[in-house]
């Protein structure tokens, strides 16, 4: 599955991957080498821990390579604000509580609720996608269906 990201997030992911390959991977190999020098590998907990850490690092590298290869870069300048799409900011009102909130719809890699960024694949994100101003989105939540009215859509 592809994940939609901004150019900034894509660049950060590439930098992180480069760091893991050029800094973390050699450090992991050195740690294994140092642990190996300390004697019998069958009873060497430091060696086992270093090997496990290397395995976890390699798994993270492989996962990030997959995310990067499937990433779709979205240019905010080309967004259609007539409806809720990826990277748009949407002002919604919870019809039950009358509370208004602003969310930016983003890909999973960029989601951060504290910053008001929700994933397009989250229940609320899915419910809002494609809606226009004035439309009501019905979102299945753990405590039942929640209705949100779309108040405003911007970039």
Final residue before a domain boundary, out of 73, 101, 119 = 73
Residues 92 and 60 in one domain: no
- Statement to judge: residues 66 and 27 lie in one domain: yes
pLDDT in tens, 65-92: 998 998 888 877 777 889 999 889 999 9
User: Does 35 or 117 have the greater pLDDT score?
Assistant: 117
* Shared-domain flag, residues 81 and 146: yes
Q: Which residues contact 110 (CB under 8 A, 6 or more apart)?
A: 5, 6, 9, 117, 119
CATH label of the domain that carries residue 143: 3.10.50.30
Domain housing 105 = 76-154
> Within this chain, do residues 92 and 119 fall inside the same structural domain, yes or no?
yes
What CATH number is attached to the domain comprising 19? Answer: 1.10.287.180
Domain co-membership, 120 together with 136: yes
CA 79 to mean position of chain CA atoms: 20
Torsion angle, CA of 123/67/130/125, rounded to 10 degrees?
20
Tokens encoding 93: 């009102």
64 and 119 belong to one structural domain: no
Could you tell me the two tokens for 75? 């240019």
pLDDT the model gives residue 37: 83
SS3 122: coil
Looking at the structure of the chain, the number of domains it has is 2
66 and 121 both lie in a single domain = no
**pTM (2 d.p.):** 0.67
Shared domain check, 61 and 9:
yes
């Amino acid at each position: 599955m592809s994940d939609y990201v901004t150019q900034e997030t894509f660049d950060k992911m590439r930098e992180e991957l480069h760091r893991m390959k050029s800094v973390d991977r050699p450090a992991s190999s050195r740690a294994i080498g140092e642990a190996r020098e300390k004697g019998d590998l069958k009873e060497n907990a430091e060696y086992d821990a270093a090997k496990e850490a290397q395995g976890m690092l390699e798994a993270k590298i492989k996962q990030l390579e997959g995310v990067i290869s499937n990433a779709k870069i979205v240019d905010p300048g080309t967004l259609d604000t007539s409806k809720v799409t990826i990277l748009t900011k949407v002002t919604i009102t919870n019809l039950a509580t009358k509370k208004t909130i602003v969310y930016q719809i983003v890909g999973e890699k960029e989601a951060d609720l504290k910053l008001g960024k929700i994933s397009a694949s989250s229940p609320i994100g899915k419910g809002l996608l494609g809606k226009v101003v004035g439309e009501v989105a019905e979102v299945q939540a753990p405590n039942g269906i929640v209705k949100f009215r779309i108040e405003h859509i911007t970039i």
